Amino acid sequence: MAKWTPKHEAPEPLEGPVVATITGGTIIWFVLFLAQVPFYGWFADRDLTWWVWTCLAGAGLGLIGIWYVRKRDAAIKRAARGDHA
């Protein structure tokens, strides 16, 4: 099997309101979780409780994502200022 080599340069990563995007996504996951909790019995009767727990996991991972992108944003701003501490 031949080794795969890219035929073109990789595009630059997109920059934008990363913290806001991750925060918005986390809020959506948590709202979806809260919307499904009253119907937990319905989900349990149909063996679909994983839907509820997936939303909670999305919210939890989103919290980790918020922490990560805030630290990343701060590091980028520090580097731009020339503060390498």
15-24, 31-40, 68-77: range with highest mean pLDDT = 31-40
Q: Provide the token pair at 37.
A: 């909790």
Helix and strand tally (H, E) in the chain? 3, 0
**What mean pLDDT value characterizes the chain?**
92
Name the residue among 43, 46, 65 with its Cα closest to residue 54: 43
Does residue 60 surpass a pLDDT of 90? yes
Residue 32's Cβ-side half-sphere holds a number of Cα atoms within 13 Å equal to: 17
